[in-house]
Amino acid sequence: MYLKDFEVRWSDIDANRHLANSAYQNMMSHARMDFLTGNGFTHQSLIKHNLGPVVFYEHIYYFKEVMPDDSLKVSTALKGLSDDGRFFQFEHNFYNQNGKNCARAIMLGSWINMKSRSITTLPENMLNMISGMEKTDDFKRLTKEDTRKYQQRPVDLETA
């Protein structure tokens, strides 16, 4: 299991004196990029292929408060992947210093071509790398329909 260690910093605490929502997002993003980098998705390889990751959503489920004196381990595992690598889903679990699961986060994302700014597939070598990453027990092959699960569409101010 891939785990990244974090200490809870003063700046991670919110007005309720527990870990702020934004800190969970920052930690899982950092853990995810460290996981990807360690599996061959380096900055150099992303630049070479004009790729950038895009987050469609992050859902966080809270089980136990994380307090200022706590330390955390954040896991990262591939939860879903489309056949062409265009869409990916990761699961993160947050564990305190006692090994208690404090939160779980599911994120869905895609790759964009940094020049055209459009969603793109992965080159074959990168698809092979991501396909070999550690997966959750409920890993699934993603389809475009999976990205439309919540059917959210923008509503401009003029039409609201």
Cα separation, 50 vs 66, whole angstroms? 38
The widest CA-to-CA distance across the chain, in whole angstroms, is: 51
- pLDDT tens string 12-52: 999 999 999 999 999 999 999 999 999 999 999 999 999 99
- pLDDT tens string 78-119: 999 999 999 999 999 999 999 999 999 999 999 999 999 999
* One CATH from 2.40.37.10, 3.30.9.10, 3.10.129.10, 3.40.50.300 for 2-159: 3.10.129.10
Cα separation, 141 vs 119, whole angstroms? 18
Eight-state DSSP code of residue 11: G
Q: Which residues have CB under 8 Å from 69's CB, separation 6+?
A: 8
Eight-state DSSP code of residue 8: P
Cα separation, 58 vs 91, whole angstroms? 10
Residue 160 has pLDDT above 70, yes or no: no
Domain range summary for the chain, segments of one domain joined by +: 2-159
Residue identified by tokens 């698809």 is: 127
- pLDDT tens string 54-81: 999 999 999 999 999 999 999 999 999 9
Comparing 40-49, 131-140, 143-152, the range with the smallest average pLDDT is 143-152
Question: Residue 31: in which H helix or E strand, if any?
Answer: helix 21-38
